[in-house]
Amino acid sequence: MGELWTQMGSLMATIMFVYAMMERFFPAALRDTLQIHTQKVMNLLYPYVQITFPEFSGERLKRSEAYTAIQTYLSENSSQLAKRLKAEVVKDSQNPLVLSMDDDEEVTDEFQGVKLWWAASKTASNPHAYSFSYYSPLDGKRYFKLTFHKKHRDLITVSYIKHVLEEGKEIALRNRQRKLYTNNPSSGWYGYKQSKWSHIVFEHPATFETLAMEQRKKEEIINDLVKFRNGKDYYAKTGKAWKRGYLLYGPPGTGKSTMIAAMANFMNYDVYDLELTAVKDNTELRKLLIETSSKAIIVVEDIDCSLDLTGQRNMRKERIEEEEPKDPNKKEEEESNKSSKVTLSGLLNFIDGIWSACGGERIIIFTTNFVDKLDPALIRTGRMDKHIELSYCRFEAFKVLAKNYLDVDSHHLFPRISNLLEVTNVTPADVAENLMPKCVNEDVETCLLNLIQALESEEEESDDGGLNEEKDKEEPTQQQKMKNNGHTVEDVKGNGFIL
């Protein structure tokens, strides 16, 4: 057996030599014919199968996705074993420099106990060829060559290649630079860049660790996210779109936006901050959503205010207009100024899985300061799978903030603060503000005393404020008014969307 292999080895070496000679001395046409015949002989003797994956494919020479995925897979898995490596700058990646094996290098891989060989190669360049192609043939064409024993053909062609491509894409997604997208008004869609979304690099530092919230609640959310992330098969089996909806509610400054950032960091997702008031109608909404990537969190902040320009309110407005006919010129002008016509049903349709066909995992998050006033259709189970309340800062949440801002786990002033937090409704944002050192030399004790002072004065205010509290309930604060785009709660009620 060994002798046979030695003989085959020398036969192969001879064939390789003949190939090399052919490439040098024979004209291209003759060379091709000879190659076909030698290939036939080789196929009889050679027990291995080879598959090549060219870098560029198709008429327009687009970079092949498979090639890129294989390159990424090999970079992470076995390229380190190659002796000669190639360094490339990869766009939109967290590690700007990616090392992959250089041309004519070979590495081995193993799959379910089967050994395989990957080689990076380049076709011989033909200096006489002339092409209009941007990728000059003078450079030769790169490709990966996979070699394996023919008895494993099924395993490799069915399972292994699928595994490599999926893993390669997964690694690229993991290493990508995440983005924060915001939607452009549709008037800008057909302009110079024709882009529906603008983006910046997403680099928010928030994590679940730094999020001030009860530990039990935090863990519940993390478990829910993990279950969702690992639920690909479950969603496929049940025929549901792979999406999950969260409704975050609570007063301003309780950490709704911070939690979204923590979720995005935890899941390694992009964030699409959808400004519904800039979306003209449901068709535009659909176009925008279709352009979101997989592994994305789509956020509609202050949902109560985003839809108040729409749906039923517009219908109501139209009804009034019908009753009181207007100057046609004026009406036309108003028509063009009319902002969003996105309706509740348009939004709900998309939540219900309009893009189920697109695949990929998506999380949809709505935030609001006024959960009681939302339309029940919007928040019924199945649409928003989980309702998460972000509330005032209690002692457990305070301890997280003290650790974040002052790097302390305990202090003799903690019990006093704990008592005060039980009876005062302050937001984590206010606590954080008071914990921040006001000058360079301010020590932990002074910062905590500042907080105590603030809490005590808040407590005094609320003590004489039984009456004030009632008044507060009726009259929205300045902040709430701002959040309602200038409408007070009463105004919003008037539009019929908010109950």
Ligand X SMILES: Nc1ncnc2c1ncn2[C@@H]1O[C@H](COP(=O)(O)OP(=O)(O)OP(=O)(O)O)[C@@H](O)[C@H]1O
Residue (254 or 424) nearer to ligand X, CB: 254
* Partner in contact with 258, chosen from Mg ion, ligand X, none, beta carbon below 5 to 8 Å by kind: ligand X
State yes or no: residue 369 binds Mg ion (CB under 5 A).
no
* Partner in contact with 434, chosen from ligand X, Mg ion, none, beta carbon below 5 to 8 Å by kind: none
DSSP character for 187?
A: G
DSSP character for 115?
A: E
Residue (100 or 369) nearer to ligand X, CB: 369
* Partner in contact with 265, chosen from Mg ion, ligand X, none, beta carbon below 5 to 8 Å by kind: none
When binding is defined by CB under 6 A, the residue of 168, 245, 311, 428 that contacts ligand X is 428
CB-based contacts of 446-452 (< 8 A; 24+ apart in sequence): 447/405, 447/406, 448/402, 448/406, 448/411, 448/413, 448/417, 449/413, 451/417, 452/413, 452/416, 452/417, 452/420
180 forms beta bridges with 200, 271
Minimum distance, C-beta of residue 260 to Mg ion, in the bound complex (Å): 8
Residues 208-247: x/- map of binding to ligand X (CB under 6 A)? ---xxx----------------------------------
Minimum distance, C-beta of residue 367 to ligand X, in the bound complex (Å): 7
Number of residues that bind Mg ion (CB under 5 A): 2
When binding is defined by CB under 6 A, the residue of 183, 254, 310, 424 that contacts ligand X is 254
Minimum distance, C-beta of residue 383 to Mg ion, in the bound complex (Å): 21
State yes or no: residue 265 binds ligand X (CB under 6 A).
no
When binding is defined by CB under 6 A, the residue of 256, 313, 399, 487 that contacts ligand X is 256
State yes or no: residue 362 binds ligand X (CB under 6 A).
no
Residue (156 or 298) nearer to Mg ion, CB: 298
Burial 332-370 (b: 16+ CB within 10 A, else e): eeeeeeeebbbbeebbeebbeebbeeeeebbbbbbbbbb
Distance CA 278, CA 284 (A): 10
465, with CB counted inside 10 A (0-12, 13-18, 19+), is middle
Residue (167 or 214) nearer to ligand X, CB: 214
Using an 8 Å Cβ cutoff, are 150 and 133 in contact? no
Number of residues that bind ligand X (CB under 6 A): 15
Residues 236-265: x/- map of binding to Mg ion (CB under 5 A)? --------------------xx--------
Distance CA 372, CA 379 (A): 10
CA-to-CA separations, 95 to 88, 90, 172, 174, 296, in angstroms, rounded:
10, 8, 10, 11, 21
State yes or no: residue 297 binds ligand X (CB under 6 A).
no
Minimum distance, C-beta of residue 251 to Mg ion, in the bound complex (Å): 11
**End-to-end Cα spacing for the chain:** 84
Minimum distance, C-beta of residue 423 to Mg ion, in the bound complex (Å): 26
Q: Which amino acid appears at position 263 of this protein? A: M
Residue (371 or 449) nearer to ligand X, CB: 371
Minimum distance, C-beta of residue 477 to Mg ion, in the bound complex (Å): 15
Distance CA 191, CA 187 (A): 8
Distance CA 202, CA 205 (A): 9
When binding is defined by CB under 6 A, the residue of 119, 178, 245, 253 that contacts ligand X is 253
Nearest to 196 by CA among 274, 301, 307: 274
Tokens of 495: 């539009």
Inter-helix orientation angle 344-351/311-323, to 10°: 160
Minimum distance, C-beta of residue 254 to ligand X, in the bound complex (Å): 5
In the block, which residue shows the tokens 């975050």? 248
* Partner in contact with 307, chosen from Mg ion, ligand X, none, beta carbon below 5 to 8 Å by kind: none
Q: Which stretch in 44-52, 146-154, 206-214, 338-346 sits in contact with ligand X by CB under 6 A? A: 206-214
Minimum distance, C-beta of residue 368 to Mg ion, in the bound complex (Å): 10
In the block, which residue shows the tokens 């992959």? 100
In the block, which residue shows the tokens 């990646």? 93
193, with CB counted inside 10 A (0-12, 13-18, 19+), is exposed
Which residues have a Cβ under 8 Å from the Cβ of 496 and sit 6 or more positions away? 312, 313, 316
Minimum distance, C-beta of residue 258 to ligand X, in the bound complex (Å): 3
Q: Which stretch in 15-23, 45-53, 94-102, 251-259 sits in contact with ligand X by CB under 6 A? A: 251-259
Distance CA 72, CA 164 (A): 9
State yes or no: residue 476 binds ligand X (CB under 6 A).
no
When binding is defined by CB under 6 A, the residue of 54, 185, 252, 360 that contacts ligand X is 252
Minimum distance, C-beta of residue 428 to Mg ion, in the bound complex (Å): 12
Q: Which residue minimizes CB distance to ligand X?
A: 255
Residue (90 or 248) nearer to ligand X, CB: 248
Using an 8 Å Cβ cutoff, are 136 and 87 in contact? no
Distance CA 213, CA 317 (A): 42
Minimum distance, C-beta of residue 483 to ligand X, in the bound complex (Å): 7
Using an 8 Å Cβ cutoff, are 271 and 295 in contact? no
State yes or no: residue 434 binds ligand X (CB under 6 A).
no
When binding is defined by CB under 6 A, the residue of 173, 413, 429, 452 that contacts ligand X is 429
State yes or no: residue 258 binds ligand X (CB under 6 A).
yes
When binding is defined by CB under 6 A, the residue of 71, 257, 306, 424 that contacts ligand X is 257
Name the residues that contact ligand X, by CB under 6 A.
211-213, 252-258, 369, 390, 428-429, 432
Name the residues that contact Mg ion, by CB under 5 A.
256-257
